Amino acid sequence: MTSTFDNHAARYSDEVQSSISFSGLRHDFFLQAKVDVLARTLRRNFGAAPPGTALDIGCGVGLLHPYIEPLFGKLTGADISAASIEQAQRLSPSVAYSMMGESLPYDDGAFDVTLTVCVLHHVPPERWDSFTREMRRVTRPGGLVCVIEHNPFNPLTQLAISRCSFDADAVLLRASKTRELLRKAGAKKITTEFFLTLPARGGFFGRLGRLAGRLPIGAQYLTAARA
């Protein structure tokens, strides 16, 4: 998996854009949708004050970081791909980046928030338990663990995955499976919000999409839990 993402780092954004070109939307739209749902989740759990520290696990080339860095006091990214980390550091020099292996190079309870964005479906299923246990381990007691993943029940998600070269080995997780993994890891107060139900962020259709957040029809979902 490391060599796969080393090879794709330089053209990652172009490959993602190609896989979703049928939607008529730019990749930026989907990045901003993730920011919106993450910001709502943080407000529900922490109120108006932003969490102090956050770790993005499997951050890749860091395309999301310019969007989410303002949500936190300090953002850290970790990935298994050296080429991806190098590119991410150039994009976001104020973010701290580290290489990671099967375990994370951080102390227990080091972060207020840990998140992983469309990463678990690349992790071999036999390692899902250890991955989510590590997420919870480095999250402080009472902090928040957030997993954003593709919804396998959405046909457009399935189409995008089939068109993406580095998703050839993807094993998509149902939201129920993600919740189960977080429960087994010892997390509590687990919630899920589906998003990207409609191709709109604001206005009537944006509000309608948010109202449908409990229904498993959005292209992606965010599952959050207290550590």
Q: Which domain holds residue 62?
A: 2-226
Res 24: pLDDT: 59
The arrangement of strands across the sheet holding 220-226 comes to 96-99, 74-79, 53-57, 111-117, 139-150, 220-226, 188-195
Mean pLDDT (the chain, rounded): 86
Res 14: pLDDT: 62
Angstrom distance (rounded) from CA 208 to CA 190: 23
- In degrees, rounded to 5, the angle at the alpha carbon of residue 20 between the alpha carbons of residues 18 and 23 is 130
Q: What is the pTM of this model?
A: 0.86
Whether residue 38 contacts residue 64, with contact meaning beta carbons closer than 8 Å, is answered with: no
Res 109: pLDDT: 98
What are the structure tokens assigned to 84, written together? 């991806």
What confidence tier does 15 reach under pLDDT thresholds 50, 70, 90? low
Q: How many domains does the chain have?
A: 1
Question: DSSP code of 10?
Answer: G
CATH number at residue 185: 3.40.50.150
What confidence tier does 122 reach under pLDDT thresholds 50, 70, 90? very high
Find the mean pLDDT for residues 219-227.
97
Is a pLDDT exceeding 70 seen at residue 2?
no
Coil/strand/helix, residue 179: helix
Is a pLDDT exceeding 60 seen at residue 212?
no
Angstrom distance (rounded) from CA 173 to CA 151: 7
Residue 172 phi, psi dihedral angles, 5° rounding? -70, 145
Is a pLDDT exceeding 90 seen at residue 67?
yes
Res 160: pLDDT: 77
Angstrom distance (rounded) from CA 95 to CA 55: 10
Find the mean pLDDT for residues 45-64.
94
Find the mean pLDDT for residues 92-119.
96
